[in-house]
């Protein structure tokens, strides 16, 4: 685990958090002559936006002030639009240490280090681990090793002494020479001492700063470190959360407000619990998944901001103390006990929980209408024809067999007229002549009525027309080009595949062509998530908004399954199903419900609920040998599983030994999404293992709140408090500020 210690600059940096949490109203203590007019309301948090940077550009929406903080404050720029900061890293190389074990307290670590030193004959140092939460604690390290190979060789010695589950920790080291950094401001290059600290302050309370094309609330602190520039955003905690919640749980994909509120409380609790996680680097949390993903003002959405504001100050507590509110994307049906994934103690609120609804509610939708298969050219056109009927473009047929009959002149004109009216075209539709309807005559008619003459003239190559109609030389003139264009545009089927152009066209084929014209102009189906049935009204969530629609008593109902769609007289829904529907006359006239997964787990809708990864033995072997010197890979054997069936102990067997890997390290070593998996081996013609296949479920570490599960619970009407209490056992929710 890389650990870098950076010396605090001066007492101002140390004192800054106290000012932010205690000032009233906050204006940087007594220095109001410099900062009056702009404040960061308490509580505030320091977020690292970058470490080891060499060239950054800061911009402001409407001006910014830049102060050099040394023994005093010096104003370098006022109402500036842009500032560029350049810093040169020291030359870096790397070194390695071997982590022998972890301890919960420094005292426990010191005692263990003394004991281990006698056993291995080398100095064992104690260092605070950089990770917060269950990964926190104290590391017992041996090293330095200049190469990974040296560290791996030492691990082999430790294994012979009976010390297993050891780990390589990589850190960067620097040469002694230090180089300063500089500020480019308004054409001036201002050289800065390596100890200098820059404060970048918006000129007014409505302004914001931006870095790397992302806008941020609050202020920036920029300072130099041996690794390069460190950029810190100091921001109000809830303003920070407004840039976290939409990144951790997309308000567009997971737009249920109660799920977003659960995420907001979890993220707030996590942030407060882990303040100081990166104190050696001068900030509390970083902006990456190792803390919480944070993209500032640029990421904010109305729905996620609402979730933060409606839960302002609320946190999750256990025995009146902040919990470590871990959360995972897709738990795969059940979360895991924290100690089986992270090194650290068992926590009573992070226990394995089934990600299933505690009480299932089901609604039955019924209809008096159905549509038997209407087969044309090997295709079932039932759904397309039902869509046209639902939109009143074509009339229902008393007998579906009528669709196989020839399209008559009068009804052809009527259907085209209704289609044009639906599309908002006021074109008059003349009655056709007595001749039979053909592909060519229909193509010319549609081109004329839709005003597509310009398309045919400019979007059709003559060589295309000749190629498409090479088997039909009898079609001449403009009608030939009109027909060729309709085929190339995908509105008419390829003529050779439908048995040529002999008249007459059937009603089914005419319906197919009109449906294609319709799709070309606008989406036919609306999309949403079916939440519940409220009497005879469907409650459907669309883009985060909950809408209510009447279901017509004679609506078409369809089930969408892996094999395709089928009409049904009744469908059962639990809430949370994806739905496609057509509304007409103020009612839902066609509803298709996605039945693709019969599982009852809450996160089944996630694309990562189930997954499969196949790796060659050589690739997996190379990866494993970066961590453990095991030689040729022979086998991978799960030894123990947790309550959720995740692999908690894994044996990796190589030609030069074996290693037991535990918890979260299993993911890192194998490079998998999750530890909930089974392993299959493939062999080549010589009987040697050639590939390993991992079939698994879920994405993330699997501990705490399941985000997709929370979304599904919200869809079924559960409140954010219910959601949090399901995944964090025995907690209370209280307002901290």
Residue tagged 């094309």 (tokens) = 213
Query: Taking 70 as the threshold, does the pLDDT of residue 136 lie above it?
Result: no
Q: What is the spatial distance between Cα 385 and Cα 236, in angstroms, rounded to a whole number?
A: 56
The neighbouring-strand residues paired with 407 are none
For residues 660 and 592, membership in a common domain is answered with no
d(CA 198, CA 70): 9
Contact 401, 588 (CB under 8 A): no
Which 3-state string (H, E, C) describes 565-611? EEEECEEEECCCEEEEEEEECCEEEEEEEECCCCCCCCCCCCCCCCE
The residues with which 528 forms a beta bridge, in sequence order, are: 579
Given the structure tokens 């180089």, which residue do they identify?
Answer: 179
pLDDT digits (tens, 9 = 90+) for 217-245: 999 999 987 778 899 999 999 999 999 99
Question: Which of 134-148, 335-349, 425-439 has maximum average pLDDT?
Answer: 335-349
| 354 within some domain | no
Give the domain CATH number at 215.
2.60.200
* CB burial readout 482-512, b (16+ within 10 A) else e: bbbbbbbbebbbebeebeebeebbbbbbbbb
DSSP characters for 476-491?
-HHHHHHHHHHHHTTS
Look at residue 560 and tell me whether its pLDDT is greater than 50. yes
Q: With bands split at pLDDT 50, 70 and 90, how would you rate the model's confidence at 170?
A: confident
User: Which of 599, 624, 649 is the last residue before a domain boundary?
Assistant: 599
256, part of any domain:
no
Residues 210 and 86 in one domain: yes
Q: What is the pLDDT of residue 71?
A: 72
Please name the helix (run of DSSP H) or strand (run of DSSP E) that holds residue 453, with its range, or none: helix 453-458
Question: How many domains, the chain?
Answer: 4
Q: What is the pLDDT of residue 501?
A: 63
Residue 9 — pLDDT band, cuts 50, 70, 90?
very low
Strands 44-53 and 285-286: parallel
State residue 562's pLDDT score.
Answer: 73
Mean residue pLDDT of the chain comes to 86
pLDDT of 26? 32
317 belongs to a structural domain: no
pLDDT of 179 strictly over 80: no
Lowest mean pLDDT among 122-136, 374-388, 636-650: 122-136
Q: Are residues 7 and 83 in the same domain?
A: yes
Assess whether 101 and 74 both reside in one domain: no
What does the pLDDT read at residue 27? Answer: 35
51 in the same domain as 153: no
Average pLDDT of the segment spanning 537-555: 88
The span from the CA of 693 to the CA of 681, in Å, is 6
Give SS3 for 715. Answer: helix
pLDDT of residue 107: 84
Does residue 91 register a pLDDT over 90?
A: no
**pTM score:** 0.72
Which of 242, 271, 298 is the C-terminal boundary of a domain? 242
User: String of b and e for 419-436 (b: at least 16 CB within 10 Å)?
Assistant: bbebeeeeeebeebeeee
Give the H or E element holding residue 349. none
User: Do residues 425 and 510 share a domain?
Assistant: yes
Give the pLDDT score at 225: 79
80/130 same-domain check: no
Selected residue with higher pLDDT from 481 and 563: 481
Together in a domain, 117 and 60: no
Bridge-based pairing of strands 705-706 and 327-328 is parallel
Ranked by mean pLDDT, the top range of 106-110, 537-541, 578-582, 683-687 is: 578-582
Of 144, 171, 198, which marks where a domain is finished?
A: 171
476 vs 8, residue with greater confidence: 476
Per-residue confidence band for 432, with pLDDT thresholds at 50, 70 and 90: low
In whole angstroms, give the CA distance from residue 654 to residue 631: 6
Q: Give the pLDDT band of residue 25 (cuts 50, 70, 90).
A: very low
Q: Is there a single domain that holds both residue 111 and residue 143?
A: yes
Distance CA 164, CA 235 (A): 43
| Secondary structure letter of residue 259 according to DSSP | H
pLDDT at 264: 97
Model pLDDT, residue 173: 65
Q: Helix or strand or coil: residue 24?
A: coil
85 shares its domain with 181: yes
For residue 247, being part of any structural domain is answered with no
- Percent of the residues in the chain that have a pLDDT greater than 90, as a whole number: 51
81 and 96 housed in the same domain: no
Element (H, E) at 266: helix 257-273
**pLDDT of res. 561:** 83
pLDDT digits (tens, 9 = 90+) for 247-306: 999 888 888 899 999 999 999 999 999 999 898 889 999 999 989 999 999 999 999 999
Structural domain includes residue 339: no
Residue 286: inside a domain: no
Residue with token string 């308004």: 186
**Both 79 and 19 in a single domain?**
yes
Residue 8 has pLDDT above 60, yes or no: no
Question: Taking the CB of residue 57, how many other CB atoms lie within 10 A of it?
Answer: 14
CATH number at residue 120: 3.30.70.1070
pLDDT over 70 percentage in the chain:
90
Reading the block at residue 84, the tokens are 């560029």
CB atoms < 10 A from the CB of 85, how many? Answer: 26
Predicted local confidence at residue 434, as pLDDT: 66
pLDDT for 565 = 87
642 belongs to a structural domain: yes
Q: Is 622 exposed, middle or buried (0-12, 13-18, 19+ CB in 10 A)?
A: exposed
Its domain, for residue 137, covers: 92-171
Residue 289 lies in a domain: no
Q: What is the pLDDT of residue 17?
A: 40
């Amino acid at each position: 685990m890389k650990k870098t210690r950076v010396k605090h600059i001066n007492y101002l940096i140390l004192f800054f958090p106290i000012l932010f949490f205690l000032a009233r109203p906050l204006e940087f203590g007594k220095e109001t002559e410099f900062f009056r007019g702009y404040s960061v309301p308490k509580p505030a948090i320091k977020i690292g936006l970058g470490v080891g940077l060499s060239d950054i550009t800061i911009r402001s929406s409407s001006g910014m002030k830049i102060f050099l903080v040394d023994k005093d404050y010096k104003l370098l720029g006022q109402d500036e639009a842009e500032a560029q900061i350049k810093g040169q890293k020291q030359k870096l190389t790397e070194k390695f240490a071997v982590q022998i074990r972890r301890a919960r307290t420094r005292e426990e670590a010191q005692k263990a280090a003394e004991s281990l030193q006698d056993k291995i004959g080398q100095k064992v140092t104690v260092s605070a681990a950089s990770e917060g939460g269950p990964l926190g604690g104290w590391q017992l390290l041996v090293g330095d090793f200049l190469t990974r190979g040296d560290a791996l060789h030492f691990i082999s010695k430790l294994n012979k002494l009976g010390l297993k589950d050891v780990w390589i920790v990589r850190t960067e080291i620097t040469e002694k020479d230090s180089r300063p950094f500089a500020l480019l401001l308004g054409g001036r290059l201002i050289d800065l001492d390596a100890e200098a600290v820059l404060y970048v302050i918006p000129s007014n309370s409505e302004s914001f700063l931006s870095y790397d094309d992302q806008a941020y609330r609050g202020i920036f602190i920029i300072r130099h470190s041996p690794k390069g520039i460190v950029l810190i955003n100091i921001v109000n905690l809830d303003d920070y959360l407004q840039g976290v919640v939409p990144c951790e749980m997309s308000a567009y994909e997971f737009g249920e407000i109660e799920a977003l509120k659960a995420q907001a409380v979890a993220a707030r609790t996590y942030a407060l619990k882990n303040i100081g996680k990166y104190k050696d680097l001068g900030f509390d949390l970083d902006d990456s998944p190792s803390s919480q993903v944070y993209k500032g003002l640029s990421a904010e959405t109305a729905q996620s901001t609402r979730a933060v504001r409606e839960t302002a100050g609320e946190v999750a507590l256990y025995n009146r103390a902040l919990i470590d509110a871990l959360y995972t994307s897709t738990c795969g049906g059940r979360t895991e006990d924290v100690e089986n994934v992270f090194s650290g103690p068992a926590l009573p609120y992070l226990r394995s929980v089934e990600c299933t609804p505690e009480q299932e509610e089901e609604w039955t939708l019924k209809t008096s209408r159905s549509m038997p298969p209407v087969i044309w050219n090997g295709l079932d056109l039932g759904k397309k024809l039902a869509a046209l009927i639902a939109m009143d473009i074509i009339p229902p047929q008393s007998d579906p067999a009528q669709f196989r009959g020839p399209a008559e002149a009068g009804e052809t004109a009527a259907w085209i007229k209704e289609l044009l009216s639906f599309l908002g075209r006021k074109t008059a539709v003349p009655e056709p002549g007595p001749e039979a309807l053909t592909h060519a005559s229909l193509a010319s008619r549609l081109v004329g009525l839709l005003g597509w003459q310009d398309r045919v003239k400019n979007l059709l190559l003559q060589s295309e027309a000749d190629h498409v109609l090479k088997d039909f030389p009898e079609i001449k003139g403009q009608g030939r080009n009109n027909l060729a264009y309709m085929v190339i545009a995908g509105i008419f089927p390829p003529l050779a595949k439908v048995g040529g152009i002999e008249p007459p066209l059937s009603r089914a084929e005419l319906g197919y062509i009109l449906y294609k014209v319709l799709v070309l102009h606008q989406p036919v189906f609306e999309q949403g998530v079916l939440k519940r049935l409220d009497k005879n009204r469907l409650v459907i969530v669309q883009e985060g908004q909950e809408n209510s629609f009447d279901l017509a008593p004679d609506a078409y109902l369809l089930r969408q399954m892996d094999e395709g769609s089928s009409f049904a007289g009744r469908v059962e829904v639990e809430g949370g199903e994806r739905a496609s529907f057509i509304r007409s006359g103020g009612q839902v006239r066609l509803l298709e419900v996605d039945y693709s997964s019969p599982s009852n787990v809450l996160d089944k809708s996630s694309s990562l609920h189930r997954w499969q990864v196949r790796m060659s033995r050589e690739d997996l072997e190379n990866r494993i040998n970066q961590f453990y010197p095991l030689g040729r890979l022979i086998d991978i054997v799960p030894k123990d599983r947790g309550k959720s069936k995740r692999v908690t102990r894994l044996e990796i067997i190589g030609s030069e030994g074996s290693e037991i890997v535990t918890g979260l390290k299993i993911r890192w070593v194998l490079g998998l999404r999750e530890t909930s998996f089974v392993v299959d081996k493939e062999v080549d013609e010589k009987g040697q293992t050639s590939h390993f296949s991992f079939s698994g479920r879920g994405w993330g570490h699997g501990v705490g709140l399941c985000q997709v599960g929370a979304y599904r619970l919200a869809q079924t009407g559960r409140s954010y408090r219910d959601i949090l209490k399901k995944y964090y056992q025995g907690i209370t929710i209280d307002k901290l500020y």
